[in-house]
Amino acid sequence: MAGIFEGPRNNGGTLFLGGQKISGSDIRDQNVQATQAIANVVKSSFGPSGLDKMMVDDIGEVTVTNDGATILSLLSVEHPAGKILVDLAQQQDREVGDGTTSVVLIAAELLRRANELMKMRIHPTTIITGYRLALREAVRYMNENISTKVDNLGRESLMAIAKTSMSSKIIGADSDFFSNMVVDAITSVKSVNARGEVKYPVKAVNVLKAHGKSATESVLIKGYAMNCTVASQAMTTRVTDAKIAVLDMNLQKERMKMGVNVVIDDPAQLEKIREREAGIVIERIEMILKAGANVVFTTKGIDDLCLKHFVEKGVMGVRRCKKEDLRRIAKATGAQMVSTLADLNGDEVFDKANLGEAKEVVQERISDDECILVKGPKVHTAASIILRGANEYSLDEMERSVHDSLSAVKRTLESGRIVPGGGAVETALHIYLEEWATSVGSREQLAIAAFASALLVIPTTLAVNAAKDSSDLVAQLRSRHALSQRTSDPVPHPPTQTTASNGHPSAPPQPPSTSDADAKAIAKAKGYRNYGLDLTKGRVHDSIKAGVLEPSMGKVKQLKSAVEACVAIMRIDTLIKLDPEQRGEDDGHGH
């Protein structure tokens, strides 16, 4: 009988179902611990001076990276609250492509502060409402006061955005070289969709990796590059004015399908069947060549019988291409991917309209590999970056870094708004929300203040990772931003300020007659609103003048996603864990 009474003493108790139930502050503490543990994993890899992590999986595969989403996707996370943060980083990676580490740090910090408020007997619903209010106000303030609209984004600002994204990555040392390449690549894949919106698809930039040489010998190719070679040495390796057929079918001798039996009495009949099998595929090839194709890409095989035809006609044939590559080539050249030659009537035809066009298709040797390059495609421009590096690990990390930079530039071009980097946005929002919280006369005030304080985790972590005094630098940043917001338009509630100032006879009424010195001081203070951390010199500086820029859409998404993840975890107040079903032998006691 003792077993029945053991329940309540075990934090939350045993369930009748066989399992355990943890509720109240215990589960909240557990969730906070789990999220803090995850944030601590990526914390030291944040910012320009962040350190890398070496991840070794269960089969000994090694990954060296400081990309938040990559680190978290390689972790085997058991705790449900931890999994929410892992999903959060991957969502940020999918939607924005950059800022994966900071979104996890903000979410974990929001949750930690929320837990402290709950210990002070503040209800989770109140905190959630406060966080949502603070988020709405933060996004509004960011759009109106911090982000700058850049109508004709100059190349300089795009390069600055690419550099800022790279600063924390492996290619940060060569950021001048790579930012040029990234901006060229993303601007060359500009396309307009059916609704007339200008899009810059990151996937249209194909990134290939080749061992050897140094990182700065990476090249950008105007065209689409594939890791394939021509199917036969005797084939031509350069075709100008290419007409490209993109196939998803076998160009091999037709064989009887599985389970088809043909019973033959006469050996001559067998020979005829064999001839016909060979004849079918030859007819298909001739049909494709007659339509004018001089380059044939296929995802499947081409056998020797068919290669002979290609070589004789001077046509380039490439087999076993990746389907994803061929889709991109089809899109860029205006080709149609053909998976069967049969038309609606069952006859085999190949239409000229299925062919794509490009100025040139050529096979070039890069490092130890041969690549096929499709240059000057007719419909959409395409770009490929061929990265060079010492080994597999550094090449993989370079690819991740280039992808993040491409995404950052894409988001900037599509939204057209930028914000200063280096912790400037977070500090400005921190100061503004702290002030704004005092104007909210309801119980959500504490939650808004907690939200404001949580944002400081970004500049603090940046400073700590750069081996600088975070207390000193963050204090400097706060004083600059507080000054800039005091001298800019009156903060949340102008009426009380004027009455307060009228209460003192010595204070002149608003607006005061400002002398030149005052005007200069105000102008200088207003300039402080773009101040962020300069981590190389260990001081604060104007991030926009220093070229530390980020797309504002990335920042907005960071805050929104972090709050949503935090709210999802805060709503949890009970964990019910069922015991796994026992499938053992009967032990003689009826168990």
Exposure string of 406-421, with b = 16+ CB inside 10 Å and e = fewer, is bbbbbbbbebbbbbbb
User: pLDDT tens digit string along 256-303?
Assistant: 677 777 787 777 777 777 777 777 778 888 888 888 888 888 888 888
pTM above 0.85, yes or no: no
Tokens, residue 403: 């992808």
DSSP reduced 3-state for 572: coil
Q: Which one of the listed residues 404, 412, 461, 542 is annotated catalytic?
A: 404
386 with 464, same domain: the answer is no
404 is catalytic: yes
Single-letter amino acid, residue 393: Y
CATH code, domain carrying 543: 1.10.560.10
The reply to whether 154 falls in a domain is no
Query: What pLDDT is recorded for position 503?
Result: 44
379 with 425, same domain: the answer is no
Tokens, residue 151: 């109508």
The residue among 352, 381, 414 that closes a domain is 414
Tally the domains of the chain: 2
223 with 326, same domain: the answer is yes
272 with 254, same domain: the answer is yes
Rounded to whole angstroms, the Cα distance separating 369 from 211 reads 9
* DSSP category for residue 494: H
User: Quick one: the chain helix, strand, coil %, rounded to 5?
Assistant: 50, 20, 30
The reply to whether 488 falls in a domain is yes
The reply to whether 206 falls in a domain is no
Q: Which one of the listed residues 65, 67, 325, 396 is annotated catalytic?
A: 67
The reply to whether 263 falls in a domain is yes
Determine contact, residues 162/186, Cβ cutoff 8 Å.
no
The residue among 386, 414, 442 that closes a domain is 414
Q: Which one of the listed residues 100, 236, 299, 412 is annotated catalytic?
A: 100
Query: What pLDDT is recorded for position 15?
Result: 58
321 with 398, same domain: the answer is yes
The reply to whether 168 falls in a domain is no
67 is catalytic: yes
Tokens, residue 37: 């543990």
CATH code, domain carrying 406: 3.50.7.10
Comparing C-alpha atoms, which of 460, 452, 413 is closest to residue 436? 452
The reply to whether 192 falls in a domain is no
Q: Which one of the listed residues 101, 164, 299, 460 is annotated catalytic?
A: 101
Q: For residue 290, what are the CA distances in angstroms to 214, 235, 236, 252, 528?
A: 46, 18, 18, 19, 69
The reply to whether 133 falls in a domain is yes
Query: What pLDDT is recorded for position 4?
Result: 34
Stretches where the chain sits below pLDDT 50 are 1-11, 490-512
Instruction: Give 223's strand partners.
Output: 375
70 is catalytic: no
Q: Is the Cα dihedral 166, 167, 172, 178 positive or negative? A: positive
What is the rounded average pLDDT for all residues in the chain? 82
The residue among 379, 414, 449 that closes a domain is 414
DSSP H helices, 51-190, are 68-74, 80-95, 100-119, 124-141, 155-166, 175-188
The reply to whether 246 falls in a domain is yes
Domain that holds residue 346: 219-414
237 is catalytic: no
